Structure 1
Amino acid sequence: MVSSSCLHSVLDTAVNGIIVINDKGTILIYNRACEALFGYKSDEAVGQNVKLLMPSRIAAEHDDYLKKYIDTREAKVIGIGRDVIGRQKDGTEFPLELSVGEAVTETGRQFIGVLRDLRATKEYEERLRVLQSNLVTMTRVNALDEMGAAIAHEVNQPLTALMLYLQTAARRARASENSDEALLSLMDKAVREAERAGHIIQRMRTFVERQAPQSIGTGLASLIDDCLELVKIGHEADDVEFFSTFVDYEYQLELDSVQIQQILVNLIRNAGEAVKGQPVKQVVVSVERDDRCVLVKVTDTGSGIEEEALSHLFKAFTGTKRRGLGIGLAISRSIAQNHGGDLLVEPYKEGKGATFTLRLPVNSKAAS
């Protein structure tokens, strides 16, 4: 017959935690692996109810479950095994795989639990899930890239034709005796936006291939005004107030104006959508600057961005809009980082709208 001391020595060499309890839930044996798992020493655990090692929400039901099993033999864990949650001495909860066997001894019915720490397994599964998710996202991004190249090729021809039609119509309208100056102004703006669309398409390959942006000296205040004017056209019926507080029209930055305009138009449009239905409908663009960087801030009077949305806000295909691919902010941040800057959002504050900050390095031609 194996002695009790010999049995305990064998159990202490086991890699997995081993606990033996009686039919009252009292811990009879608690091996060394359990000490490492739960943080309780053997003399702290033996003699205590096994609920000591469970979160309170589970512990409250354990005695009833044990009694029900003894009365009805209806097993939920015993002889089956399952994943459970354990609680360490410091209160930390962690996942465990629990297998339970039953034995009838001279001193009564006993239950032997074998415990395996699942934290490393769960972490691996989570990493695998994230990698799979990233793989799916990258597959979609690659597909989008291929689609974008095809679309760019197909769109260039009708876009060029559209510009020619608009220019011809504008010339004929000017030659008319009763020319409408407001209409001519709108047509000129349409031609400029068609040209801008053409520039954006031409730059897409540069952006995707991560080539250096085509930096030129650009007046920042004028660039912001152009973005605001463009967005206002789509919000004339919404009673949204768009304005900029930056009026230093002499200040210039070395940047790719087309790509930075993409970012600002996206931010301002999003802000305009956010203030719809609000008592105050206002979108403000402001600028802060020093010798190292320029911060262009787009602030709205909307309901703000909830904290749970902030962690994935700049990830592709995870946008909060009901329509769209959810890639606008992801692309905008990539453009900003390609310029050596970044795109950030301020933490959520109750009662405050959202503020997005475009940070750009100063390789500037600041006016004297």
Structure 2
Amino acid sequence: MAAGNRYRVAFGIASGLAIFAIDTFTTLASAVAVLYVLVIVLAGDLGSKKAIRRTSTICAILTLISFAASHAHNLESQATLRLLFSLAANIVTTLLLLRRVGDEAALKESEHRYRTIFETLAVAIWENDFRLVKAELEKLRQRGIVDIRPYLADNHDFVVRMRKAVRITDVNQTALKLMDVPSKDEFFRTLDDFLPDNDGGFAHFLAGIFEGQTEFQSETTVRRRDGRLIPILVALSFPKDGSGLDRIQASIVDMTERHQFQEALETSRQELEQASRAAMIGEISASIAHEVNQPLSAIMTFVQAGTRWLNRQPPDIDEAKLALQDAVAATEHAAQVVKRVRMLLGKSKSENAEVTVDAAIADAVQLKQKELAADGVLVNLSLMAQGGTVRGDRVLLQQVFLNVISNAMHAMETTAPRTLTIQSRLAEDGINIRFADSGAGLGSSAPETLFKPFNTTKPNGMGLGLAMCRSIMMAHSGTISIRDRTDGQGAIVEVRLPLAMDEEEAVPLTA
């Protein structure tokens, strides 16, 4: 027991005995026993509910003993009233003290809980005293200053003085680690101790206080004890009633790792952009090479045919001219293919005109006719679109048909007989085109994977044909799909295109 408490106990015992003696052995006609309340109050200062109850009980017993000794043979109504009054005072005082001790215990528990949270929180917190700052700002208001921002911009000394006026009264352990300070006694005393000289955020903060703001959050930079500058996020709030300015708590989050992550992310983004550009260049080159390969093959075929006509004895000039004219047409087609592919990959606008589907299919078959004949492929044409038109780019659509025909020829290289059936028909919502070959079918390949870039089943293929076809179909609001035949060996490619709209309803075609 502490020395102070021992003195209280001794004084309480002495007081109780004195009150008992006066109440028992004197003839004072007053409620002397009420003075036991003082003894109970002394017990309450010990902060123990047990001590209060025990003291109250002893005082009540002493009161009853004194009453019995003094009035046992002569019960007076006034004496009885004084007894009841004394006991009531005892009970009321006891209850009030028990409540006070309970409240104090709850308050201590709450303070302990708060202190534990404060000290162990992962976020840095420091407590600030803003009373001097608030007083100085009120003086400026009394001087008639309404817009404080120009004043702060012109009076940097005032801002520095206010930084020094904000005193730091407490910090938690996380704040000590953040600022590289070993103990609270060695922590910075004012904001000016760790804010950089070129800090501009505090002036905006002062302006916010002057303008009546209560919530603040901003990112700034502070100087650690070792001199290193670190970025932090500060958040604090002021009470709306203006009270508690001596303990404004600021929550501090170290933004160093976030900034490092953002820098690393930006570096990765730049590297990814460079890689994407390189990949795009490669993809464009591969796409152009893939799409130009077919007209180049046709050019070679026509030139070789023209050479053979010229090598005859006598030379057949007319047939040679026809072959060379076909080569020129194939060359022009190759140039158009390059132009359209660049538009498609570059997201540029393509030609947007009405295209007669049956005619475009027939032209594509004509371009491949000699290759089809050389491979022994029998083509069955059933073009029943009845002159139906779609709106789009004829060269790009024709390139889709050429790619599908080339894929069918490749699929039938190891099969016999080799038959390619091409059908078109008019539907309510558009034109349906069906390419059915008698090749090996899809095998183990999933239909969707065949449309992915650089996915190919050909030994020397690039895997761009069907991917390019799907891109062209999407640009024309159409679809393309592939599946195995159910009526025999081979695969079926189905193309669906919407019918051409009226000119005023047409939407510009973009790839």
TM-score w.r.t. the length of structure 2 is 0.38
Contact 1:303 1:351 in 2 (8 A): no
Moved more, 315-324 or 225-234: 225-234
Query: Could you tell me which residue of structure 2 aligns to residue 237 of structure 1?
Result: 374
TM-score w.r.t. the length of structure 1 is 0.51
Matching of residues 83-98 of structure 1 within 5 Å: none
Q: CA deviation at 1:337?
A: 0.5
Matching of residues 196-345 of structure 1 within 5 Å: 196-246=333-383, 250-345=387-482
Per-residue displacement from partner, 1:167-209 (whole Å, max 9, x unpaired)? xx99xx9xxx975433322222111111011111122221012
User: What is the aligned counterpart of 1:194 among 331, 338, 344?
Assistant: 331
Relative to 1, partners in 2 of residues 1:147 and 1:221: Cα closer, same or farther, differing over 3 Å?
closer
Contact 1:317 1:326 in 2 (8 A): yes
Per-residue displacement from partner, 1:221-266 (whole Å, max 9, x unpaired)? 2211111121222233221112321055633332211001111100
Q: CA deviation at 1:295?
A: 1.5
Percent identity over the alignment is 23
Query: Could you tell me which residue of structure 1 aligns to residue 498 of structure 2?
Result: 361
Relative to 1, partners in 2 of residues 1:150 and 1:270: Cα closer, same or farther, differing over 3 Å?
closer
Mapped to 2, the partners of 1:187 and 1:361 lie a distance apart of 37
Please give the secondary structure, in 1, of the residue aligned with 2:449.
coil
Query: Could you tell me which residue of structure 1 aligns to residue 168 of structure 2?
Result: none
Please give the secondary structure, in 2, of the residue aligned with 1:246.
strand
Mapped to 2, the partners of 1:229 and 1:150 lie a distance apart of 22
Please give the secondary structure, in 2, of the residue aligned with 1:295.
strand
Structure that is richer in helix per residue: 2
Q: CA deviation at 1:145?
A: 4.0
Query: Could you tell me which residue of structure 1 aligns to residue 280 of structure 2?
Result: 142
Q: CA deviation at 1:349?
A: 4.2
Mapped to 2, the partners of 1:220 and 1:277 lie a distance apart of 31
Moved more, 292-301 or 178-187: 178-187
Please give the secondary structure, in 1, of the residue aligned with 2:453.
coil
AA partner of residue 447 (structure 2): L
AA partner of residue 355 (structure 1): I
Q: CA deviation at 1:324?
A: 1.7
Matching of residues 69-88 of structure 1 within 5 Å: none
Contact 2:383 2:422 in 1 (8 A): yes
Contact 1:285 1:297 in 2 (8 A): yes
Q: CA deviation at 1:139?
A: 7.0
Relative to 1, partners in 2 of residues 1:140 and 1:335: Cα closer, same or farther, differing over 3 Å?
farther
Contact 1:301 1:353 in 2 (8 A): yes
Q: CA deviation at 1:330?
A: 0.6
Mapped to 2, the partners of 1:201 and 1:295 lie a distance apart of 27
Q: CA deviation at 1:289?
A: 2.3
Please give the secondary structure, in 2, of the residue aligned with 1:285.
strand
Contact 1:284 1:299 in 2 (8 A): yes
State the aligned residue count.
219
Q: Which has the higher contact order (CA 8 A, sep 6+)?
A: 1
Matching of residues 143-162 of structure 1 within 5 Å: 143-145=281-283, 147=285
Moved more, 300-309 or 335-344: 300-309
Relative to 1, partners in 2 of residues 1:140 and 1:230: Cα closer, same or farther, differing over 3 Å?
farther
Relative to 1, partners in 2 of residues 1:348 and 1:240: Cα closer, same or farther, differing over 3 Å?
closer
Please give the secondary structure, in 2, of the residue aligned with 1:326.
coil
Contact 2:379 2:419 in 1 (8 A): yes
**Structure of greater Rg:** 2
Query: Could you tell me which residue of structure 2 aligns to residue 101 of structure 1?
Result: none
Relative to 1, partners in 2 of residues 1:336 and 1:141: Cα closer, same or farther, differing over 3 Å?
farther
Mapped to 1, the partners of 2:500 and 2:288 lie a distance apart of 35
Per-residue displacement from partner, 1:87-107 (whole Å, max 9, x unpaired)? xxxxxxxxxxxxxxxxxxxxx
AA partner of residue 142 (structure 1): M
Mapped to 2, the partners of 1:149 and 1:294 lie a distance apart of 27
Mapped to 1, the partners of 2:444 and 2:486 lie a distance apart of 9
Relative to 1, partners in 2 of residues 1:287 and 1:248: Cα closer, same or farther, differing over 3 Å?
closer
Contact 2:353 2:393 in 1 (8 A): yes
Mapped to 2, the partners of 1:189 and 1:265 lie a distance apart of 17
Mapped to 1, the partners of 2:452 and 2:394 lie a distance apart of 24
Q: CA deviation at 1:310?
A: 2.1
Relative to 1, partners in 2 of residues 1:211 and 1:285: Cα closer, same or farther, differing over 3 Å?
same
Structure that is richer in strand per residue: 1
AA partner of residue 357 (structure 1): E
Contact 1:222 1:249 in 2 (8 A): no
Mapped to 1, the partners of 2:288 and 2:387 lie a distance apart of 40
AA partner of residue 183 (structure 1): A
Mapped to 1, the partners of 2:468 and 2:287 lie a distance apart of 16
Please give the secondary structure, in 1, of the residue aligned with 2:355.
strand
Please give the secondary structure, in 2, of the residue aligned with 1:355.
strand
